[in-house]
Structure 1
Amino acid sequence: MNELTSNPPGRPRRTLDIVQASLKRRYARERRFRFLGATAVILGLTFVVLLFADIILKGYTAFQQTYIRLPIELAAESIDPDGTRDPETLAQADYMKLIREALQARFPDVTERNERRLLSSMISVGAADLLRQQVMDDPDLIGTTQEFWILAAADIDMLIKGHIDRKAAEADRRVKDQMIGWIERLEAEGRIAKRFNTIFFTHGNSREPELSGIAGALMGSFYTLLLTLVLSFPIGVGAALYLEEFAPKNRWTDLIEVNINNLAAVPSIVFGLLGLAVFITFFGVPRSTPLVAALVLTLMTLPTIIIASRAALKSVPPSIREAALGVGASPLQTQFHHVLPLAMPGMLTGTIIGMAQALGETAPLLMIGMIAFIVDIPKGFTDVATVLPVQIYLWADSPERGFVERTSAAIMVLLAFLFAMNLAAVLLRRRFERRW
């Protein structure tokens, strides 16, 4: 049956023609929507890839460090004149003098005072401490001449890694032409090499880039997350269990639920201000310690854990509860023996996600003083410490190229931990989740 349209000025059209024209427009809109969606996904992935590529390209060189191989004479009269091998005597020896003498022996033509000072500046100020530790670990080295890999200064490290252009004008770089000549001579003799940077993983923070490491920040993060987990997991699970299974449904519980949901969206710096006012000022908890950091992060992660735990409890079928109650189990036995084991994978997933969120937090920890310059590695919950995100923040504020690569390397380590924690959450859910 042919039907005429009421308002077209042209020739009459059938209903089928109208429907087909409408379908073409709808299909065209669908194709445009799919194109825009695919474009958005591609753009998002492109930006993520560019971000990761920029971090990796800037940071992968931090996992290697430049060393200069020198034959050093460990004369007994200079290190242990009494021959007692007393650790205090060995520690007080002038190891930097031995390193400078060995380096100047490679360049006997360097005689002027300024040149000798310039030559010595190629060695890191921490090289003497590293050599001292090797001698104290093996006192049998005293009285012999050994080849040691001596840590190079940051500028020399940047030059070897290609971050300083050797062909640039001398005024445009931090390494002088004379130093480049010495470096090329050592390279020709095979006395300069890049080795795995163990210092980055075993040392704390330092003013010198080549001596800076993330060990202190890693231990601070470990103590903080461990205490946060111990505090937040039982409190969060207990609160979720009470609200979901035992609390009466009234205005007060509704108000509590609304506030928990709102707390999950509160900016993290607010928790830092709360920790500063309550834990430090009122209760006197030591500042800049994993203890106060864990208390603040516990408050911040509790809403996430409670919400995830309640969702896990809701996913358990009511028939499980009814069957347990039907065979004579008490409500508490029903929850602990039947419901909680089935909901635990979802609870663990939410907890790990909350811990990953806490691991990456910086703003609340800045408010409680964890921005301090920490050299020593913390050994307990009440030792002054910093955490990895704050360490990244401190290094990012430094203009030196050596700290730039360490900033990116620390970000890579932090991302690796975050990926590992999120992967663990996914694996736990897939391993223990039961579909009903």
Structure 2
Amino acid sequence: MTDLVDRRTGAHTSDDAAKRLAKRYASERNFRALGLGAVMFAIAALAMLLYTIISDGYSAFVTTNVTVTAQIDAELVDPNGKRELNDLRRGDYINVARRAIRADLPEVTARQDLRELYALLSDGASVMIRDRVLKDPSLIGQSITLKVPVSSDIDMFNKGRIEESDIASGNARITPKQLGYYKQLDARGLISTDFNGWFLSSGDSRQPELAGVWGSVIGSILTLAITLALAFPLGVAAAVYLEEFAPKNKWTDLIEVNINNLAAVPSIVFGLLGLAVFLQFFGLPRSAPLAGGVVLALMSLPIIIIASRAALRAVPPSIRQAAMGLGASRLQVVTHHVLPLAMPGILTGTILALAHALGETAPLLMIGMVAFIVDTPHSVTDAATVLPVQIYLWADSPERGFVEKTSAAIMVLLAFLLAMNAIAIFLRKKFERKW
């Protein structure tokens, strides 16, 4: 059937044309619905992921403490009586803490019962008492009242992660007698839930209640500093040369193809390169931010080059032509006009590349940054770990207390990444030019 055309509107008015039009509209509606469904599914998956992380990790920012009154006996902490720091550091603070908890429950006298009572305390109790004495040696011979952390299992019970039914059935490392001691202390108002300063101010530990992320945070900052110091100037210089000075021939085409291919190389390949070249050949220190930063710089370099070239191409040719028309040399055009105008895009791409490097684990595992590091690193050559590796280590630990620490460390890492992305957005919005 021949289509009829309305001369006023130019629209087909036949039945076949109307069916085809309705089919096209239906296809468009289905495509929109499919796209909306995909977006809603992605949002729901992200919300579920964030809910799981936050619900598992928020409790790591608080800890369970017990209030004790510790008698700082000179015979335990300073038997020589010289008040020297080395002697005070080697004091028997464990017994000071044990006597303090025993004084709260004097009715406990049997040896086995005392062992279970002492197990309520974390090793951090003796550390806190020691730090107080080192800070003020005049406390020796006096009594001090302070809050000290309990063991990880008691902490988990207080936070509701362990149920009484688990204890009664023997599925927890808390005995019914220890539970009774805990309830007695709680009934006397000696148990409290406070902000967990250990988590944000200390390094790793075998005991979950004492483990913290500060060491890995400093390690991540030092590693990213090395990455930025190496990748940014090299990446920008390579981008400027390829975009502004290099002749267009088969060699530059080959370089561009290789740069694009390097951006898609799996990160573990860079880890193998770092292990073979930087550690074994050049002898860089293993598990140090220096080695990790060099490896991550190689991985970030192609991304920075690609982003920088895109930012340079976004500068209108009229800027170059106007500068050259006023007598500026090619180098002056690039350094005085093109590069400053492209710098917001370059910085944005650099920050995004660093954020990508911050979340990498595989290349750092290959160069030994998976070691158990207790101390906070002070230089780029000290042994260190980074946040993703710390999360990997805690996720592999069997204790229940490390479950919340893993999720809390992920929250810290996400906050780090969000801050870096916020900086990138701020720089783009503040310095972006509309052409």
The amino acid of 2:385's aligned partner reads T
Which residue number in structure 2 is paired with residue 156 of structure 1? 154
Question: Compared with structure 1, are the counterparts of its residues 312 and 110 closer, same or farther at alpha carbon in structure 2 (3 Å cutoff)?
Answer: same
Once residues 314 and 3 of structure 2 are traced to their aligned partners in structure 1, the CA distance between those partners, rounded to angstroms, is 56
Q: Could you give the per-residue CA deviations for residues 305-337 of structure 1, whole angstroms, max 9, x where no partner exists?
A: 000000000011111111111111111111111
CA contact 2:275–2:366 (8 Å) conserved in 1: yes
Once residues 345 and 253 of structure 1 are traced to their aligned partners in structure 2, the CA distance between those partners, rounded to angstroms, is 26
Question: Compared with structure 1, are the counterparts of its residues 90 and 378 closer, same or farther at alpha carbon in structure 2 (3 Å cutoff)?
Answer: same
The amino acid of 2:44's aligned partner reads T
Shift of 1:50: 0.2
Which residue number in structure 1 is paired with residue 8 of structure 2? none
Which residue number in structure 2 is paired with residue 191 of structure 1? 190
* RMSD between superposed Cα atoms in Å: 1.5
Which residue number in structure 2 is paired with residue 209 of structure 1? 208
Which residue number in structure 2 is paired with residue 9 of structure 1? none
CA contact 1:170–1:177 (8 Å) conserved in 2: no
Which residue number in structure 2 is paired with residue 125 of structure 1? 123
1:108 aligns with 2:106: yes
The amino acid of 1:78's aligned partner reads L
CA contact 2:223–2:290 (8 Å) conserved in 1: yes
CA contact 2:3–2:14 (8 Å) conserved in 1: no
Deviates more, 1:424-433 or 1:26-35: 26-35
Which residue number in structure 2 is paired with residue 425 of structure 1? 424
CA contact 1:321–1:334 (8 Å) conserved in 2: yes
Q: Could you give the per-residue CA deviations for residues 169-213 of structure 1, whole angstroms, max 9, x where no partner exists?
A: 341222111111111111111101111111111211111111111
Question: Compared with structure 1, are the counterparts of its residues 29 and 116 closer, same or farther at alpha carbon in structure 2 (3 Å cutoff)?
Answer: same
Q: Could you give the per-residue CA deviations for residues 69-115 of structure 1, whole angstroms, max 9, x where no partner exists?
A: 01111133433355543212221221111111111122222111111
1:68 aligns with 2:66: yes
Output the TM-score relative to the length of structure 2.
0.95
Which residue number in structure 2 is paired with residue 145 of structure 1? 143
The amino acid of 2:26's aligned partner reads A
Report how many residues are paired. 427
Once residues 3 and 413 of structure 1 are traced to their aligned partners in structure 2, the CA distance between those partners, rounded to angstroms, is 68
Shift of 1:431: 0.4
Once residues 352 and 32 of structure 2 are traced to their aligned partners in structure 1, the CA distance between those partners, rounded to angstroms, is 31
CA contact 2:315–2:342 (8 Å) conserved in 1: yes
Which residue number in structure 2 is paired with residue 10 of structure 1? none
Shift of 1:15: 5.2
SS in 2 for 1:172: coil
Once residues 342 and 275 of structure 2 are traced to their aligned partners in structure 1, the CA distance between those partners, rounded to angstroms, is 35
Once residues 15 and 67 of structure 1 are traced to their aligned partners in structure 2, the CA distance between those partners, rounded to angstroms, is 81
Residues 6-405 of structure 1: pairs in structure 2 closer than 5 A: 16-81=14-79, 83-168=81-166, 169-405=168-404
CA contact 2:66–2:149 (8 Å) conserved in 1: yes
Identity of aligned residues (%): 57
Q: Could you give the per-residue CA deviations for residues 350-405 of structure 1, whole angstroms, max 9, x where no partner exists?
A: 00001001100000001111111111111111111111100100100012110110
Shift of 1:24: 1.5
The amino acid of 1:288's aligned partner reads S
Deviates more, 1:88-97 or 1:157-166: 88-97
Once residues 63 and 297 of structure 1 are traced to their aligned partners in structure 2, the CA distance between those partners, rounded to angstroms, is 30
Provide structure 2 residue ranges, at least 5 long, that are not aligned to the other structure. Answer: 5-11
Shift of 1:151: 1.3
The amino acid of 1:362's aligned partner reads T
CA contact 2:72–2:139 (8 Å) conserved in 1: yes
Shift of 1:4: 8.1
CA contact 2:3–2:17 (8 Å) conserved in 1: no
Question: Compared with structure 1, are the counterparts of its residues 193 and 323 closer, same or farther at alpha carbon in structure 2 (3 Å cutoff)?
Answer: same
Once residues 202 and 108 of structure 1 are traced to their aligned partners in structure 2, the CA distance between those partners, rounded to angstroms, is 34
CA contact 1:170–1:176 (8 Å) conserved in 2: no
